[in-house]
Amino acid sequence: MPVLFALGFRPFFLLAGFLAIVLVAAWVVVFVGGFAFDTYYGQLGWHSHEMIFGYTSAVVAGFLLTAVRNWTERPTPTGGYLAAMAALWLVGRIMPLFPETLPGWLIALVDLTFLPVVAIGIGVPLAYKGEKRNLVFLLLLSGLFIANLQVHLDLLGYGQQPAGSGVFLGLHIVILLIVIMGGRVIPFFTERALQGVVIKRWPVIEWLAPISALAFLCSELFRADMVVVGACAALAAIVNGIRLASWYTNRFWPVPLLWVLHLGYGWIVMGFCLEAAAAFRAIPPQSTTHAFTAGAIGVLTLGMMARVALGHTARPLRVGPAMAVAFALVNLAAFLRALPPIWYPQWFSEFVILSGAFWCIAFSIFVAIYTPILTQPRIDGRPG
């Protein structure tokens, strides 16, 4: 069995790293007018769909297939099964590029099959072990599937909602997943790395953090009055801001694998702040998305992939200067894409190009450093 298919994080983190570069580089080239291509999703639809249901789904799959094995001490897909899952994901990325050749229903079928296959891969060990606490991840995967289905139904002419609504739903299900998982792993990683540090956990805040994120999502889905939407967004920003502040210690700044996760969670707070401002018409409504996508998702997934890959290949949990630069660049990319265009729209194109360049450099560094790590055996000789 090739080492690449020894555990879920290996193929999916590697594929996600490459896709992160391709998606943004291609979009920047299209944006500046140097290239145009047709896809099943359209150009803008391809960019938004693939960032959520392509890139992010790969990272989520790699993380859950690895974590569930640890939680349950039961096997998750490896070898040929895992290779087939990775191939299914990859084919789902390639097929939409040939809308004139392939029927839409076939493109949709292949793309929609991936998340249920992942759910089965983690659901069997979770059910066997009776892991009720972690069954929430099956619900979230189901929600992602429904969001993706909404996109495809609209594109095939059967939808009651536009494809963009499905992408929005998928995005905020991912944010909810990050709020839940981030609340577990960021304090845990911080305490493990910094001897003597004890992270405060306030039960009310821990309960309200995901509830407030879900409340915002529901207020948008059910088209609540904008005052209600704004109030829900403000509540989510305040609660998650308090949560993030309770995790703070100035001792994590010398440790890139920690500060990247804390900054990544900070982008969730920023995203909800922008949503509140947009609801009360302080900023344009289209200004909120990239704090969540380039910021929360981009920064946190890069940090998590870097940390998980080291831990599960028995390597020391530290990165060199190059990865620290990558972490800084992905934050800078998120900043340039999310915030300055709000106040300086006349320089929008320049911000998009700079942001895209920094993003691509950050993920190129990750791919260059982590390809050997993801394709070589654990250094302690154990399987995985």
Across 305-334, average pLDDT: 98
Across 321-340, average pLDDT: 98
- pLDDT class for 384, splitting at 50, 70, 90? confident
pLDDT in tens, 82-140: 999 999 999 999 999 999 999 999 999 999 999 999 999 999 999 987 778 899 999 99
Structure tokens at 232: 């829900």
Q: Which residue has the higher pLDDT, 346 or 224?
A: 346
Instruction: Write down the pTM of the prediction.
Output: 0.96
In order of 267, 360, 365, the CA distances from 264 in angstroms are 5, 17, 18
- pLDDT class for 168, splitting at 50, 70, 90? very high
Q: Where are the domains of the chain?
A: 3-375
**Domain 3-375 falls in which CATH fold?**
Cytochrome C Oxidase; Chain A (1.20.210)
Q: Look over the chain and give the mean of its residue pLDDT values, rounded to a whole number.
A: 95
Q: Is pLDDT of 34 > 90? A: no
pLDDT in tens, 246-261: 999 999 999 999 999 9
Contact 289, 231 (CB under 8 A): no
Q: Is pLDDT of 239 > 90? A: yes
Long-range contacts of the stretch 75-80 (C-beta < 8 A, 24+): 75/125, 76/7, 76/8, 76/121, 76/122, 76/125, 77/8, 77/121, 78/1, 78/5, 78/6, 78/7, 78/8, 79/1, 79/5, 79/6, 80/1, 80/5
User: Other C-beta atoms within 10 Å of 254: how many?
Assistant: 9
Q: Is pLDDT of 35 > 80? A: no
Across 162-180, average pLDDT: 95
Question: Given this model, what pLDDT does residue 262 score?
Answer: 98
